[in-house]
Structure 1
């Protein structure tokens, strides 16, 4: 099987691994506690933000005070007493750095909304969005100035989940903000959605100035699975807090319904999803089933079902992916910890966005971009009693 071959090739030297056991403890806290032993960095980069979010979700679900304290202290250590965020530059515009705002908001809310430093820090991130460079139609640039007039699916997850959660907490009646959040999704849908497959290209260039831009839509040529994964999760997370009375709610729910259909149709028989998802690439030489998007899609389905946002019939799709993850992508170490395999290091639109580029990027062991979504998925499995 191609996944098995890939995993063995990548990690043949990892002789400390065991076969998958019959798990007697929750996978969420098992993976989370394993990651606390892997020497986590403390910074506001989105990878650390989602790792600590995964640990927090696991701890909350399983009522693990030790893990919850670990995540809380990690986030708190990055926000000074005066609300200054360590390592954050208010004049540097990269959507990746906004994701840390979700960690801040979680602990502010969970702590009874009393921690003033978190409120100040979150407002600083929110105020930066007011100054953000935008495309002529109003979309946030993915990063300034290097990705001028470009929107990526990744950026929707990084910024608009925070934007929506902040608005729901502090400005629930701010129609202008809700309109703006809806607009970000509408622009992505207008330029990146393929209405045959119901999938979306990685991003688009509004002025069509980049080498990869489609001359009509401005879209990049390929459907990269992790970008779609970020977007799928973003739709679920934003709809969770979006006002149902706002016209944007129905639009976003329609986008989610359509994407859920496209993902089910594109799922491989193994239960996972190909790195490059659009035809004719699935099964093509060099392509492979990749773990981070597989985790994101499973999580999006399960949380979407729990919130009543997607049809419960998709549970079988998610469980098929879950079975693959615990059999193929979770690595069982002799010391009792878990590792995570099969996650591609990066995917960017800074080059030619070619098939050769995407399949040429190495895979990484214990990459938080895959392990964190696995923790998210595990919490949903456990909440559902599956």
Structure 2
């Protein structure tokens, strides 16, 4: 009996030892496999540089940002490359500068013509990549970049307007102002005027015109009860998405308000300190921040449809959250907003990292839960309903999220 027991115990011990060895071997092999994967994005870098290098890994050509199969001059390129320029200025990583330059080099020909761009479309979205040229021209002095900037500025001079002077979002969207448009066009318009227009009267006129856009959006798009702003406003009130009394669209879209917040903190970089509109924009920014803070989810993130909370289908969305984080952080850092908004930004940022950022074995980082796109009107027609906003594609690494994430990371020095 004892012999049988000893044999059984020996077998059990041998089995446990073998299992333990297998586990140890498995763990060793796993570590070896992980170590064997080349880290194309070092984990020792700050989040801003890690995300920028991840974007370069995903889209080796900046002209293909936004999952394109053909090069295009568009706002998403300008957004990410604006962020890239800020990372380069901090890190002096030449790979990042080359990425910026290669976009302009590819998209601007020797005569200064912008490839794929049509001035006749009068599309405010196309102005955003002008920020790339504003950055590169002082460094390179390439005449073609200046010529292209002059073309974009000429669009602003000929852009059709509402009866009060508000820029149409696009020629195909007559009498409509969208929150998006203020970010797409006004930082470029203002900086170009400040830097390249010598006629003081003309320069002041552009300053006034830039401020007017914010005045009109506040006048027509802000909901007086909540302080939030509707995505679009149609002066003609003819669009199916427009309220027949106010001309406003139906909902408060996260990224729409994100564009608007970033527009305010960025134009304040260049609007002269003595311009009377400066105090108004800071006032608008404070009203905005108060309204946005009230609809922040307890998690620290923001919802796709801001004021609808946990309504069925709604979700905590990355691009708007990144934009609000950047707006609050920069606004507080610059002294436009009270310090409490820096705390709000830090909380949102930490939750973004914890809940919506994932890291691949090769070090590439992903920003998840991004709304791919949302607009109003068009063909097929976008009706601005709740169902529309929650029904658009959700994807990872949308540049409308990665760009603001990089800028928020820089503002928070994470």
Give the TM-score, by structure 2 length. 0.83
Distance in 1 (alpha carbons) for counterparts of 2:92 and 2:157:
37
CA-CA distance at 1:291 after TM superposition: 0.2
Distance in 1 (alpha carbons) for counterparts of 2:180 and 2:406:
19
The match for 1:301 among 319, 328, 338 is 328
CA-CA distance at 1:23 after TM superposition: 5.5
Given that 1:199 and 1:262 are in contact with CA atoms closer than 8 Å, whether structure 2 keeps it comes out as yes
The match for 2:190 among 158, 164, 167 is 164
Correspondence for 2:383: 352
Q: How does 1:88-99 map to 2 (within 5 A)?
A: 88-99=117-128
Query: Per-residue CA shift, 1:30-78, capped at 9, x if unaligned?
Result: 1111111113414311112212222222222222122122222222321
Correspondence for 2:53: 33
Q: Where does the alignment leave 5 or more consecutive residues of structure 1 unmatched?
A: 1-15, 17-21
Distance in 2 (alpha carbons) for counterparts of 1:131 and 1:370:
31
CA-CA distance at 1:358 after TM superposition: 0.6
Query: Per-residue CA shift, 1:192-226, capped at 9, x if unaligned?
Result: 11222221110100011112222332111100000
Could you list the structure 1 runs, at least 4 aligned residues long, displaced by more than 6 angstroms after superposition: none
Query: Per-residue CA shift, 1:310-337, capped at 9, x if unaligned?
Result: 2222111000111111112212101211
CA-CA distance at 1:176 after TM superposition: 1.2
Distance in 1 (alpha carbons) for counterparts of 2:56 and 2:85:
12
Distance 1:321 1:373, change over 3 A: same
Distance in 2 (alpha carbons) for counterparts of 1:274 and 1:329:
13
Correspondence for 1:134: 161
The match for 2:317 among 282, 290, 314 is 290
Is 1:364 aligned to residue 364 of structure 2? no
CA-CA distance at 1:105 after TM superposition: 0.6
Is 1:322 aligned to residue 353 of structure 2? no
Query: Per-residue CA shift, 1:210-263, capped at 9, x if unaligned?
Result: 122223321111000000000000000111101121221111111111111111
- Secondary structure of residue in 2 paired with 1:120: helix
Distance in 2 (alpha carbons) for counterparts of 1:180 and 1:242:
12
Is 1:262 aligned to residue 262 of structure 2? no
Comparing both chains, which one has the higher relative contact order based on Cα–Cα distances under 8 Å and sequence gaps of 6 or more? 1
Correspondence for 2:212: 183
Given that 1:345 and 1:364 are in contact with CA atoms closer than 8 Å, whether structure 2 keeps it comes out as yes
- Secondary structure of residue in 2 paired with 1:91: helix
Correspondence for 1:155: 181
Given that 1:240 and 1:307 are in contact with CA atoms closer than 8 Å, whether structure 2 keeps it comes out as no
Distance in 1 (alpha carbons) for counterparts of 2:94 and 2:221:
43
Correspondence for 1:313: 340
Given that 1:141 and 1:150 are in contact with CA atoms closer than 8 Å, whether structure 2 keeps it comes out as yes
Given that 1:55 and 1:67 are in contact with CA atoms closer than 8 Å, whether structure 2 keeps it comes out as yes
Given that 2:73 and 2:116 are in contact with CA atoms closer than 8 Å, whether structure 1 keeps it comes out as yes
Distance in 2 (alpha carbons) for counterparts of 1:300 and 1:355:
25
Q: Where does the alignment leave 5 or more consecutive residues of structure 2 unmatched?
A: 1-33, 35-41, 65-70
CA-CA distance at 1:152 after TM superposition: 0.2
Given that 2:221 and 2:232 are in contact with CA atoms closer than 8 Å, whether structure 1 keeps it comes out as yes
CA-CA distance at 1:158 after TM superposition: 0.5
Correspondence for 2:229: 200
CA-CA distance at 1:133 after TM superposition: 1.5
- Secondary structure of residue in 1 paired with 2:169: coil
Given that 2:43 and 2:50 are in contact with CA atoms closer than 8 Å, whether structure 1 keeps it comes out as no
- Secondary structure of residue in 2 paired with 1:240: coil
- Secondary structure of residue in 2 paired with 1:151: strand
Query: Per-residue CA shift, 1:348-375, capped at 9, x if unaligned?
Result: 1112211011111120122111111111
Is 1:219 aligned to residue 239 of structure 2? no
RMSD, aligned CA: 1.7
Given that 2:100 and 2:132 are in contact with CA atoms closer than 8 Å, whether structure 1 keeps it comes out as no
